[in-house]
Amino acid sequence: MRPTLSLLALRVKLPKPELERYAFQDLNSISHRDLPNNGFGIKNYYITKTKFHHWPVYKKIQNTKITTEIKRVQGDLYQLKQDLLQAYPQFEISVNQSAGIVNIKGDATKEVIDLFEKEIKI
């Protein structure tokens, strides 16, 4: 203890006010329609832009094979495939569900970026 100037140095602890405990809502009273991400992944997808605010659409060249790769797709990749085929029926599209990548045969980067700029609002 530090020395004090007075002979009597009393420390009195003040009682802390008792806080009311938060009562969580019962899970049975919550509907799945009340959840904020209701239905995400079913006929919904989201494509995040890169840190330089570009669409993640890349031209990929392997020997003589040229493909267009769409990365960073979250949600329903097959719905994105259907939307791309609706806009451009001549595309040959394959989907990698585990990596979140959509591949299009040929160089279609300009068409896909123009479609994203026109249709997707971020």
In Å, how far from its chain's centre is CA 24?
A: 27
CB-based contacts of 42, cutoff 8 Å, min separation 6: 76
Domain at 94, CATH number: 3.30.780.10
| Cα–Cα distance for residue pair 106/60, rounded to 1 Å | 9
Evaluate whether residue 21 is within a structural domain.
Answer: no
CB-based contacts of 114, cutoff 8 Å, min separation 6: none
Q: What is the pTM of this model?
A: 0.66
Q: State pLDDT tens for residues 3-57.
A: 666 666 677 888 888 888 888 888 888 876 777 765 666 678 889 999 999 999 9
Domains contained in the chain, number: 1
Evaluate whether residue 4 is within a structural domain.
Answer: no
**Range of the structural domain that residue 67 is part of:** 48-120
